[in-house]
Amino acid sequence: MTSTPLELNNQRILVTGGAGFLGRQVIDQLCQAGADRCKITVPRSHDCDLRQMDACQRAVDQQDVVIHLAAHVGGIGLNREKPAELFYDNLMMGTQLIHAAYEAGVKKFTCVGTICAYPKFTPVPFKEDDIWNGYPEETNAPYGIAKKALLVQLQAYRQQYGFDGIYLLPVNLYGPEDNFDPRSSHVIPALIRKVYEAQQRGDRQIPVWGDGSPTREFLYSTDAARGIVMGTQLYSDGEPVNLGTGSEITIKDLITLICHLMDYQGEIVWETHQPNGQPRRCLDTDRAKQAFGFTAEVGFEAGLRNTIAWYRQNAR
């Protein structure tokens, strides 16, 4: 671990995925931590395809710090529809960017992984040391394994080359500006949109995948971004680090809470022929607290209220 914080004020910083939901929050947190916004570069996919090595090499040229957030990602539906694309795109982006950053002499590389990398039946709470103790949940295994391979790469590059790359594992994220597209959204934005549209149409029922029994843990986007920046500045070790709240909620209780906050009185129809996904997700967050002092600050109900309010104002 680092003995002194990485000062950001004179660093040239590349943030892949910086135009996205989490990326915009990370850039704001970088600036609050002293980074110069003019020295932050955000590559865009239309002119910088990170699946191509030459694009990765151009992106990292002259950069001091790389924060890799870019990912091809979605909910259970997208994972079932496009497992090959999710595996290939995420593996190619990550592994080539890491290698290009090493060759370019980048001083710090922060890779944001996924809890989809954990085994399907990981003991709760998930400890980082459990990540290799089984195969991921089948519907998101291609994505999870592609991202987990980047942890191996960073550890190997640290061992052989002394490359300072860290690997952070944020739990499911949510917040304003999330992806509410029903074809690719995660559970919270998907449910908020379902309830909102049911209210607009006057529907008295809404369908929800599975049987409501799985649990999930959720981290508000500003908390996640703050954790990523804190890790970038204060952590320098090969072991992965969870970012989360340490609290879980069942999908049944989640949709009940969303309906309450949105004042929806209709019936929930459980589509039990659809997959539940991983049975439980809840992280052990001790390592992040001990290694660089990160704890989540935004309460779940407050975060949901903010997310709902944003969607109501921006729904089309």
Helices (H), 105-184: 141-161
Q: Mean pLDDT, to the nearest integer, of 86-91? A: 97
The pLDDT of residue 73 is 80
Q: Mean pLDDT, to the nearest integer, of 106-126? A: 95
Calpha distance 266→182 (Å, rounded): 20
The pLDDT of residue 74 is 77
pLDDT digits (tens, 9 = 90+) for 207-233: 999 999 999 999 999 999 999 999 999
The token pair at 301 is: 């109900």
pLDDT digits (tens, 9 = 90+) for 11-60: 999 999 999 999 999 999 999 999 999 999 999 988 999 999 999 999 99
Which of 86-90, 162-166, 177-181, 253-257 shows the lowest per-residue confidence on average (mean pLDDT)? 177-181
Confirm if 42 and 18 have CB atoms less than 8 A apart.
Answer: yes
- Which of the pair, 290 or 46, is modelled with greater confidence? 290
pLDDT digits (tens, 9 = 90+) for 125-159: 999 999 999 999 998 999 999 999 999 999 999 99
Instruction: Say whether pLDDT at 2 is over 70.
Output: no
Calpha distance 146→287 (Å, rounded): 23
The pLDDT of residue 3 is 55
Q: Mean pLDDT, to the nearest integer, of 303-316? A: 95
**% the chain with pLDDT above 70:** 99
Instruction: For the chain, give the mean pLDDT.
Output: 95
1 burial level (CB within 10 Å; 0-12, 13-18, 19+): exposed
Closest to 73 in 3D by CA, of 6, 21, 119: 21
Q: Which residue has the tokens 């040391």?
A: 129
Give, for 173, the enclosing helix (H) or strand (E). strand 172-174
Calpha distance 20→24 (Å, rounded): 6
Domains of the chain, earliest start first: 13-175+217-247+281-298 (3.40.50.720)
Record the pTM. Answer: 0.93
Residues taking part in catalysis: 143
